[in-house]
Amino acid sequence: MSLDERFNSAADKAKSFTKRPNDQELLELYALFKQATVGDNNTSKPGMLDLKGKAKWEAWNGKKGIAQDAAKEAYVAKVEELTSKYA
């Protein structure tokens, strides 16, 4: 199975968790997914009052410089780790 196939499979698996991961785990998944699909964060930072948007932006921005393939590998590994807890 290619990296892209494993990545897409992991993304589908993450959507089918029966329990909700905690906020830190969700931010980690979000940041790795965005880094893998878009690359480095190229958006402007949300305002102070947008707490959720700011947290997501900061999580993604923290992955700056990670290659998209490396982010895909890390995303697949993180989903596999969380599957035992939430699937």
What's the number of CA atoms in the CB half-sphere (13 Å) around residue 62?
Answer: 13
- Please write the tens of the pLDDT for every residue from 21-73: 999 999 999 999 999 999 999 999 999 999 999 999 999 999 999 999 999 99
- The total number of structural domains in the chain stands at 1
Q: Which two tokens stand for residue 10?
A: 């992991």
14 C-beta neighbours (distance < 10 Å), count = 19
- Rounded to the nearest 5 degrees, what angle is found at the Cα of 73, between the Cα atoms of 68 and 75? 90
Q: Which residues contact 87 (CB under 8 A, 6 or more apart)?
A: 13, 16, 17, 18
**Distance, CA of 50 to chain centre:** 19
Residue 35, pLDDT score? 98
Find the CATH number of the domain harbouring 61: 1.20.80.10
Query: 19: which residues sit within 8 A by CB, 6+ positions away?
Result: 85, 86
